[in-house]
Amino acid sequence: MDFKDKSVVITGAGSGIGAALARRAAILGARVCVSDLDGAKAQAVADEIGGMAVPCDVRDEAQIQALVAQASAAQGDIDIYVSNAGLGGGEPSHAASQTDETWTLNWQVHVMSHVYASRALLPGMIARKSGYLVNVASAAGLLNQIGDAAYSATKHAAVSFAESLAITHGAEGIGVSVVCPQYVATPLLGLSDVDAATQESLLTADDVALAITNGVEAGRFLILSHPVVQTYARHRAQDHDRWITGMQMLRAKAQDTFGGIEISSFYKLV
């Protein structure tokens, strides 16, 4: 689906990949609703691109329903909904050391937000035989993020849910894409475009926004801004034990290089 004259909603669009995608969708001719937990950030991006802003906490189904209703009323039935809001953190020590609150937060933001959005949008999209759902997961949803088990597990669930959407609703004219970037220089990692200029493996938010619009225009399910992820995923599928050994070696290398597990520095090793 192309973006011209389309009604688009993007969550988590006050920053990083979501903000870059909002700018790009507007350039491509879409009417864009910029949504974020942080209403001021959403408003700033909306002002920049001549779009509308709606504050929304994607953990809350009622707020997602209100977002869909407000955006539909103002800019027409939603053609493309990008469920992009996300967060990262890492874990204090061992792989089960993160608190229940953080596991629940990851589950709500990375999985249930996609379920709530689909629940709000699918009946209308099925009736219209048209619509496109884009769920931003992560390479961690195909592979693993060393040092963040809650992020990895919930991003895997996000990929699985996107597969279910695509399998169930493809024949009804509904497009589905899942976006699985590796490292991107955004506030989530405390990185900027200056860092991205230092290493090829670290992309800018604009690079990922371009990959997303190209992928949606081509109707591609799996959008990989970092093509090397395909190779890693193939290695994992071919020999899971060997892949685990490789990941153990990468973890040991990170500890030797950084003196600990610094998620924001992993891009220097891949």
Ligand X SMILES: NC(=O)c1ccc[n+]([C@@H]2O[C@H](COP(=O)([O-])OP(=O)(O)OC[C@H]3O[C@@H](n4cnc5c(N)ncnc54)[C@H](O)[C@@H]3O)[C@@H](O)[C@H]2O)c1
Task: Indicate which residues carry an active-site annotation.
Answer: 151
Size of the site for ligand X (CB under 6 A): 30
Site track for ligand X across 165-194, x = CB under 6 A? ----------------x-xx-xxxx-----
Q: Which stretch binds ligand X (CB under 6 A): 67-75, 81-89, 94-102, 211-219?
A: 81-89
The least distance separating ligand X from the CB of residue 94, rounded to whole angstroms, comes to: 22
Candidate residues 86, 131, 147, 215; the one interacting with ligand X per rule CB under 6 A = 86
From 6-14, 73-81, 170-178, 212-220, span contacting ligand X (CB under 6 A): 6-14
Among 40, 87, 244, 249, binds ligand X (CB under 6 A): 87
Q: Based on the shown chain and the rule CB under 6 A, indicate whether residue 216 belongs to the binding site for ligand X.
A: no
Q: Does 43 bind ligand X (CB under 6 A)?
A: no
Which amino acid makes up residue 229? V
Pairing of strands 7-10, 31-36: parallel
Q: What is the 3-class SS of the chain, one letter each residue?
A: CCCCCCEEEECCCCCHHHHHHHHHHHHCCCEEEEEECCHHHHHHHHHHHCCEEEECCCCCHHHHHHHHHHHHHHHCCCCEEEECCCCCCCCCCCCCCCCHHHHHHHHHHHHHHHHHHHHHHHHHHHHHCCEEEEEECCHHHCCCCCCCHHHHHHHHHHHHHHHHHHHHHHHHCEEEEEECCCCEECHHHCCCHHHHCCCCCCEEHHHHHHHHHHHHHHCCCEECCCCHHHHHHHHHHHCHHHHHHHHHHHHHHHHHHHCCCCHHHHHHCC
Instruction: Build a one-symbol-per-residue string for 119-148: x at contacts with ligand X by CB under 6 A, - elsewhere.
Output: -----------------x-x----------
| CA dist 69 → 9, 62, 108, 245 (Å) | 11, 10, 21, 48
38 makes contact with ligand X (CB under 6 A): yes
Note whether 76 binds ligand X by CB under 6 A.
Answer: no
- Rounded to a whole number of angstroms, the minimum distance from the CB of residue 159 to ligand X is 11
Residue 161 interacts with ligand X (CB under 6 A): yes or no: no
Q: Which of these ranges, 51-59, 93-101, 116-124, 239-247, lies near ligand X under the rule CB under 6 A?
A: 51-59
* Closest distance to ligand X from the beta carbon of 86 (Å): 2
In the bound state with ligand X, the residue whose beta carbon lies nearer, of 3 and 183, is: 183
Instruction: Give residues in contact with ligand X (CB under 6 A).
Output: 11-12, 14-18, 36-38, 41, 56-59, 84-87, 109, 136, 138, 181, 183-184, 186-189, 205
